[in-house]
């Protein structure tokens, strides 16, 4: 999973499925806070990243995008 920020336009999440196909979804208000949390983790120093697990946040984000119909489980 990767996120691409477009400033005022918003953020898009891109996921590579097991088949190799890339799927894209826009981040809306419901999932924006999760992306912000992951962005803050990524921007933190490496020693902090090693001690703080944000795997759960990524799983919640992906689950919300799947439930909204953006990505299917493959």
Do 24 and 72 touch, CB atoms closer than 8 A? no
Average pLDDT over residues 5-28: 77
72 located within any domain: no
Do 63 and 70 touch, CB atoms closer than 8 A? no
Average pLDDT over residues 44-63: 87
Q: What is the pLDDT of residue 24?
A: 82
Q: Is the pLDDT of residue 40 over 60?
A: yes
Token digits for 63? Answer: 């689950």
Do 13 and 25 touch, CB atoms closer than 8 A? yes
Q: Is the pLDDT of residue 6 over 70?
A: no
Sign, Cα dihedral of 70, 32, 45, 56: negative
How many domains does the chain fold into? 1
63 located within any domain: yes
Find the domain containing 55 and state its range: 2-67
Q: Is the pLDDT of residue 8 over 80?
A: no
7 located within any domain: yes
Q: How confident is the model at residue 11 (pLDDT cuts 50, 70, 90)?
A: confident
The contacts of residue 54 (CB under 8 Å, 6+ apart) are 37, 38, 41
Q: Is the pTM for the entire model greater than 0.75?
A: no
73 located within any domain: no
74 located within any domain: no
């Amino acid at each position: 999973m990767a996120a691409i920020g477009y400033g005022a336009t918003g953020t898009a999440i891109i996921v590579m499925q097991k088949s190799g196909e890339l799927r894209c979804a826009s981040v809306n208000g419901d999932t924006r806070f999760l992306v912000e949390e992951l962005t803050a983790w990524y921007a933190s120093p490496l020693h902090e990243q090693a001690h703080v697990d944000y795997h759960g946040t990524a799983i919640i984000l992906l689950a919300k995008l799947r439930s909204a119909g953006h990505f299917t489980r493959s």
